Structure 1
Amino acid sequence: MNEDSADTERHNGRIRRLTDKGFGFIQDVDGDIYFSSADVVSVRNEDLREGQIVTYTIEAGPKGRVAKNVTPL
């Protein structure tokens, strides 16, 4: 993936960690990916749980990969 572009392909991963500050991390084959509660669709961030499988797209953020359009499966 080009670091300056968005990846429109959907990926699957597992929520590794959720915080009470409105963000979390998804574990996928290439390591952890940051996501914000603003990027969760279909459910509220409070309805997510660690270990849950989600689908998402990936964009380049200031500190690495960022998950967007996070949707539980």
Structure 2
Amino acid sequence: MKTGTIKFFNEAKGYGFVTDDETKQDFFVHVTGLNGLTVQQNDRVEFDTQEGRKGINAVNVRKI
């Protein structure tokens, strides 16, 4: 699993971005990738990545 920080998350629209600690790459995260979790900007998380319709997405996101 990768670790990172929530860069931005719009709860009303159901998406945001998480920045990978190691590569500093931003990954799109959809509310469905949170498994019922509520996140805010700067939350520390761990996540997997998966190919999505428009690129690589963060999935299985969990707070750490």
If the length of structure 1 is used for normalisation, what is the TM-score? 0.74
2:25: which partner in 1?
A: 31
What's the CA shift for 1:38? 1.1
For the residues of structure 2 that align with 1:14 and 1:69, how far apart are their CA atoms?
Answer: 14
**Would you say 1:58 and 2:58 are equivalent positions?**
no
Q: What TM-score results when the alignment is normalised by the length of structure 2?
A: 0.83
State the partner residue of 2:34: 40
1:21 aligns with 2:13: yes
Larger gyration radius, structure 1 or structure 2: 1
4+ runs of 1 displaced by more than 3 Å? Answer: none
Which amino acid is the alignment partner of residue 33 of structure 1? Answer: F
Distance 2:52 2:58 in 1: 9
Identity among equivalent positions (%) equals 25
d(CA) in 2 for partners of 1:54 and 1:64?
A: 20
Unaligned regions of 5+ residues in structure 2, if any? Answer: none
RMSD: 1.4
